[in-house]
Structures are given as structure tokens and as C-alpha cells.
Amino acid sequence: MERMQQIVGRARAAFNSGRSRPLEFRIRQLKALERMVQEKEKEILAALKADLNKCGHNAYSHEILGVLGELALTMEKLPSWAAPQPVKKNLLTMRDEAYIGYEPLGVVLVIGAWNYPFVLVMQPLIGAIAAGNAVVVKPSEVSENTARLVAELLPQYLDKELYPVVTGGVPETTDLLTQRFDHILYTGNTAVGKIVMAAAAKHLTPVTLELGGKSPCAPGSCWGGEVAVGAFWGLCPAHTTLPFSRLPQHQPSSRMFPLSQR
């Protein structure tokens, strides 16, 4: 627990110094993150292959392109997102300058998932950096090669005090959740989501949870059996957070799923 206190304490001290607030600093960090993804693409893909046996095309399209696209959009839009937004005046404020200004929350905790271990850590990190926060990154220990690579690469490209990486399993995550954060983002299963929310409640910390769910697939009556089976098995790999789990049938199963009879 003392180690986690030190990590979070350094991140909070770095945030309180004010250096993460200037727009120019945020954009520099995002550009550094973009450079990291571009320069270390082969290493990232190799780690994903080792952890999940993801083929190059799948890993590149889902993880690398997703992160690069998020970075490009964020860097393009950040000046307008961060700018004060004017608001309508009334009789009491007509002689005032009235606007909504956006402030960073403070120290954010990002807990990633094993199934998309790179993109589900990087995308929340991008948003938190863009908002001017310090971020403690906790990759999933299940995808250990990707977690190790993230812990190795981020300090080489980003501010080490503002954006530390914590690796480890349940004990490390449990210790981390005893610390006070200003926002927690967690991606994973419902059981752990409840633990995260309970820990956050002790400090009244707001949370963002992306949890697994159930998604019905409703095939049209014109679908053939092979098309339906292909969609059900090919478009919903088991490691995706929202797989097709139910398939309502408009036709007898022998007509809709001739392959299922084999």
C-alpha cells in the first residue's frame, strides 16, 4: 500500500504543480503518444499476438488504428474543446463576461481490460491527458506481455510523474483502489465493476464503467443459414465485450441454421 501511496502522491504533486494544464503541454504529450504508437507498432503487435494470438490485421485495425484515430481527432479538436464557451446573459449578468470554463479533475485512474489490452488503456488515457489530468494507468495483468510493454514504453515518451504505470494482479489493484482519485475509468466484468464502484464510493469519486453485456442479433427473414451462422460466429469473437448472445428466430431452426444440424 505504501508503494501505491507514493505513486499516486507523486502524480498528485505533479498535477498540483500545474504543468499538465497548459494546452501546449497536453498536445505535446499527445504527439509523444502518437510517436510511441508509430515507432513501436511492431512491438505492440507482437505483444498482442503473444497474449491473445491476434493476427496482424485484426490487431492493427482494432488496436493500433483505433488509438491513432483517437489521437488525431483529439489533437485536432482539443483547442476548441478546451476553449471557454460563452453563455447567454440575463439581467443580472448582462454587464459581465459570462462563459463556461473547463477545468481538469485531478488524478485519474484508468484500469484496462485483457481482451483489448492496448486500445482500452490508451483511449481513456488520451482523453484524460487532453483534459489536463494526471493519470495512473493499470493495464490488465491477464495480457501480461502487453501490460509489460505499456509499463516499459509510456515512461520513455510521457511525463513519468504525471502518467505512471502500475502492473500486477489483484493485490496491486486492491491497494490502488484504496487511494483517493478524482475519477476512475474501468473496463471489464460486472463483478469487478461493483468492487471498483464500492471503493470509489468511500471517497465520493465519480466512475466510468464499461462492463460486459448481452446483445441479441436479429437476423432478417431473407438471411440464409450460412449467412446467419457466419455472422453469429464470425462477427462476435468470445473476447469482445458485447458479443451476440441471443439469436431470435423467425424461421424453424432447420431452415435458418442447416449447418447447426451437422
Give catalytic residues, as residue numbers: 210
Please state, in angstroms and rounded to a whole number, the distance separating the CA atoms of residues 90 and 101. Answer: 18
Classify 200 as helix, strand or coil: helix
Find, among 123, 104, 109, 105, the residue nearest to 22 by Cα: 104
Dist. CA 95–CA 81, nearest whole Å:
26
Cα dihedral 125, 129, 131, 133 sign: positive
Quote the CA–CA distance of 199 and 256 in Å, as a whole number: 47
User: Among positive and negative, which fits the CA dihedral 43, 152, 211, 130?
Assistant: negative
